[in-house]
Amino acid sequence: MKKRYSLDPDNPQHAEKAEAALLAGLEPAQPSDQQRAKIRARLFQRIHASAAAESARITVRSDQGRWRKILPGVRAKLLDQNNRVFLLDIEPGASLPMHRHHEDEECIVLRGSASLGALKVSSGDYHMARAGSRHGKISSESGALLYLRGIPVGHTAQAARDLLTAFLPGEGRELITIRANEGEWSDLAPGVSSKPLYDDGQTRSSLLRIAAEASWSSQQALLAHDEECLLLEGDAFFGDTLLRSGDWQLAPAGSESRPIASDHGALVFLRGARNAA
């Protein structure tokens, strides 16, 4: 009588042997011409749908855009003129003069450290200057790269207004600063957490931390407000679009909401409708 052998499924070596035997017995399937045509049609349909969904979004890669000098040792790269969003690069020892804010200004320190009057902020810190508040001279001893939202760079008359009104008495509304190691994180999904930064009643700014191979989808089908994102660390897919560290994207209100996923992990700054989470 022929002796029969059994493989233990819990033994890794046996599992590898079984897998190899199964793969060896499989023959590659060759689709027919009709099947090939259907696959090709579905693939191009998916590509066109993805391109149409992304067409309204503005994406600025980290190596795209034009830097322009605004003061000695200070240059700016505009990301979105309508929302006055830009990156500010300050060389060691350079500075900007005292000014008053006529709209809310958000700031994230992406690299280095800077002094905002008497306040010093460092990499990873978030700062909000409310409309009506005043900043002292902005300077950096070591150099800094800042993300800024809400300053009229390129609007000469409004920039002059901000400089001149800085000499009026009064500090204005309280400044808000959240250090990189401050704030509370809350779980949105397995491997995904959020830290709130600022909420004005209509929009909310927050940090989104995504672990490797994790994903998250907003509760809204269509964006109720413009949604802005900046990749601070790692990389993540926003729908079919892969954004890497330093990339910025603006999705206008009415756009289709997309799932966010990361293969390697990511840290993202998000600003959008307050009921998105």
pLDDT above 70 (res 6): no
pLDDT at 2 over 60: no
Residue 175 has what pLDDT? 83
Span 58-91, pLDDT tens digits: 999 999 999 999 899 999 999 987 768 999 999 9
**Other beta carbons less than 10 A from residue 16's beta carbon:** 10
Mind listing the domains of the chain with CATH numbers?
Answer: 67-178 (2.60.120.10), 183-273 (2.60.120.10)
The two three-digit tokens of residue 78, written as one number: 């505009």
CB-based burial, 89-128: b 16+ in 10 Å, e otherwise:
bbeeebbbeebbbbebbbbbbbebbbbbeeeebeebbbbb
More confident residue, 78 or 221: 78
Q: Which residue has the tokens 């990499």?
A: 123
pLDDT for position 228: 93
Q: Which residues contact 33 (CB under 8 A, 6 or more apart)?
A: none
Convert the pLDDT of each residue in 55-64 to its tens digit: 788 999 999 9
Identify the top-confidence range among 108-112, 137-141, 219-223. 108-112
Q: Is it the case that residue 99 has pLDDT exceeding 60?
A: yes
| 166 pLDDT above the threshold of 60 | no
Percent of all residues in the chain with a pLDDT value above 70, rounded to a whole number: 87
pLDDT for 261 equals 95
Of the candidates 160, 104, 111, 162, the one whose C-alpha atom is nearest the C-alpha of residue 129 is 104
Query: pLDDT tens digits, residue range 190-215?
Result: 999 999 999 988 889 999 999 999 99
pLDDT band at 30 (very low <50, low <70, confident <90, very high): confident
- Indicate the pLDDT class of residue 120, thresholds 50, 70 and 90: very high
- Give the pLDDT band (50/70/90) at residue 156: low
Residue 116 pLDDT > 80, yes or no? yes
pLDDT(106) > 70: yes
| Average pLDDT score over residue span 229-247 | 95
Chain-wide mean pLDDT for the chain? 85
Q: What pLDDT score was predicted for residue 263?
A: 95
Query: Do the Cβ atoms of 147 and 110 come closer than 8 Å?
Result: yes
